Structure 1
């Protein structure tokens, strides 16, 4: 006890940052410490651990569909997602991800809830840890020819067909696929399925990097910031420079600037 009483508030705070439980025996000693700084550090530690517990519980919940399929005898389950259906410019990108039951990246969730840095780091780890990842792209000309919905389906089906580990079941975000694979279609699937969430991260990172490259090739539209969506800067670029080769001519208001 005497040793503990000699610890400074900053020393205790640093130690708390290394403790990942609410049952460590040192916590009881510090709870008896009358210093306000120690009590505030304990409260921060408790909030952090509770956030971690909630995140882990949500992570396990996002395994619900995969676990049910694995238990039924399906060996490979592919999560499917797309990014880029709404922009005025750039491709639509789809991704299929097959995960193993021991996949443990708790941070994987809907890509829209993550920062750019978090997505980039998770993208690298997903590609490294997944059983397999497959990406397919349809360019603006294909989108104009087929329509965006059909172009998305086409890219998704190519993602699946190019997998070396052919899945026994698909979990697809919002877009049913017209071919003979057993599939589960989920609205907001990237919030409900870990495989779909992983696919959404990979697809978004892949497309975002393409749009960063396009921004260098076709400056003036703000592609590095808007990723092809119809922002004020993007529309100003269309008025000033006209239509670039990566614009979707079937998407309003692009035809006005042809």
Structure 2
């Protein structure tokens, strides 16, 4: 009779259900049952992730007119915060994306998983581009226009020209067919990949800003209007990285000027 440790090691090396595993169901040892149940839970989770991956691949493929068409996904991070830039990314993925199992909307993914996926995306992408839209531009033209401009620049900076651009909830003016997809980061693999690159890049930038402006806790809040952030704004006033056209930053600045 094999030990529980031996069974556990063999299960780790097993990808699909086997006859010997069914025989283990008659084993009355609690440790064996625990290992077997864990394996089946992980197997079911992996099957769900594979299904999700195929659905996203199929969604992107539905926009192709031929197999040679290249799909670029585009997404942004940071439209809502009171401080920091908007970051937009464009990604063209290859046909073989099996290593991106689990790729989803960045908001549904842990920081550790986002960083892991970002590394993989950069390694396998046919091309990717990241554009950082500064606070000054956001204040100059408004957040919607600044985001759209940044998305378009990300597409235009790709080293390979796409045949079709799928953008998350944004109509773009680029040199190919462009489709605006509502909640695209949950439907499209290419948009989800862009979401990951945009989010991880912006998080890194906000971590850097935190070192310069520790009173606002940018590393913790990414520039969003948390209660701690708003309190720091009232005490210290806005910094150079705050969006002067966003409330309550605008009112705080007006109050300082009027005072």
One of 248, 251, 256 as aligned partner of 1:256: 251
Residues 213-258 of structure 1: CA deviation (Å, up to 9, x unaligned): 0011112001000000000111111111111001000000002322
**Whole-Å Cα distance in 2 between the matches of residues 130 and 229 of structure 1?**
30
Which residue matches 2:256? Answer: none
| Per-residue deviation, 1:201 | 0.3
Q: Distance in 2 between matches of 1:170 and 1:46?
A: 39
Select 2:232's aligned residue among 231, 234, 237.
237
Question: Structure 2 length normalisation: TM-score?
Answer: 0.93
Is the 8 Å Cα contact of residues 89 and 248 (structure 1) preserved in structure 2?
A: yes
> How many angstroms apart in 2 are the aligned matches of 1:56 and 1:73?
22
**Does the residue aligned with 1:93 lie in a helix, a strand or coil?**
strand
Cα distance, 1:35 vs. partner? 2.1
Work out whether residues 79 and 97 of structure 1, in 8 Å CA contact, stay in contact via their aligned partners in 2: yes
Q: What CA distance in whole angstroms lies between the structure 1 residues aligned with 2:67 and 2:37?
A: 45
Q: CA deviation at 1:101?
A: 0.9
Aligned to 1:147: 142
CA shift for structure 1 position 169: 0.3
- Give the alignment partner of residue 20 of structure 2, picking from 26, 43, 65: 26
| 1:92-131 matches, cutoff 5 A | 92-104=86-98, 105-131=100-126
- Taking the TM superposition and a 5 Å limit, the aligned residue runs for 1:144-223 are 144-223=139-218
Task: With the length of structure 1 as denominator, give the TM-score of the two structures.
Answer: 0.93
Choose which of 58, 67, 78 in structure 2 pairs with 1:64.
58
| Separation in 1, partners of 2:175, 2:70 | 16
The corresponding residue for 1:227 is: 222
Superposed CA RMSD in Å reads: 1.4
Inter-partner Cα distance in structure 2 for 1:37 and 1:219: 49
Q: Structure 2 CA distance, aligned partners of 1:179 and 1:168? A: 11
2:85 alignment counterpart: 91
Q: List gaps (5 residues or longer) in structure 2.
A: 254-259
Aligned length: 252
Structure 1, gaps ≥5 residues long: none
Aligned counterparts of 1:179 and 1:16: Cα–Cα separation in 2: 50
Partner of 2:80: helix, strand, or coil?
coil
Deviations 1:162-192 (A, max 9, x none): 1121111011101111345212221111110
